[in-house]
Amino acid sequence: MIGVPTHFIRFAGCSYRCAWCDSMHAVEPAQIQQHKKVLPPEDLVSWVESLYDDHPTHRIVEPEPSWVTLSGGDPCLQDLTHLIKLLQIDGYKIAVETQGAVDARWLTACEHVTISPKPPSSRMETDFDILDRILMRLNYAEHRMSRTFSHCLKIVIFTNDDMVYAEKVATRFPSTDMYLSVGTPTDVKGPKLEDTVLDAMRWIIKDLPLYPILHKTARVLPQLHVLLWGHELGR
């Protein structure tokens, strides 16, 4: 969904501790306490609506519903059924980003789900039994549900081992769209960050033919917000 306007609701808490996590403010307990806001679903919807206050005519002329993206941490650690229903009643489409470690039944109530299992560079282990179960249900939803629903896989790439892992995942789930997301280093800042990300993207594209399944099916994308705003929070 790169380039699609959306409002992000970032939820605190994660069962992972990825080595290169760029959202520790939503993962590490001390940082969560510093940044969090505790809001009931109704107040969250009101907060999203308030983001239009500076552009009151935007919702009037908008031809399609706006998007809200639920991210984290891992939003699947919470039951967001009621929040999703309220946002949809208010005219929003819902996207979710999760690593696929928690089988949340409410995922199929959304309009789009991105599953991002973590590769070796994260130092986390993928539970493929859970991932199989989640992807089977999402595939069923996409092919059998009457309303619009879509899902995809996204693998963050930092190393050659990550490319091997992504090829394995793409082979295991051949009917699911696959994206390779260029890894963003957390220790590089300023103008050098953009060059670092683009250099890594060139490397992935150059090596892609070495991985036949990825070469045939995967799309390589950077984190667009990093190229625009670096590591700045609140964007």
Residue 180 lies in a domain: yes
pLDDT at 94: 97
Residue 109 lies in a domain: yes
Q: Do residues 159 and 120 lie in contact, with contact meaning Cβ atoms separated by under 8 Å?
A: yes
Domain range spanning residue 24? Answer: 6-229
* Residue 83 belongs to domain with CATH number: 3.20.20.70
Integer CA distances (angstroms), 198 to 106, 156, 184, in order: 36, 14, 10
Residue 1 lies in a domain: no
Contacts of 73 (CB under 8 A, 6+ apart): 10, 11, 12, 13, 14, 23, 26, 27
Residue 234 lies in a domain: no
pLDDT at 52: 73
pLDDT at 156: 98
pLDDT at 62: 55
Residue 60 lies in a domain: yes
Of 160, 202, 163, 197, nearest to 180 (Cα)?
163
- Number of domains present in the structure of the chain: 1
> What confidence tens digit (pLDDT) does each residue in 57-105 have?
555 555 566 999 999 999 999 999 999 999 999 999 999 999 999 999 9
Exposed (0-12), middle (13-18) or buried (19+): which is 89, by Cβ within 10 Å?
exposed
**Which segments of the chain have a pLDDT < 70?**
54-65, 146, 234-235
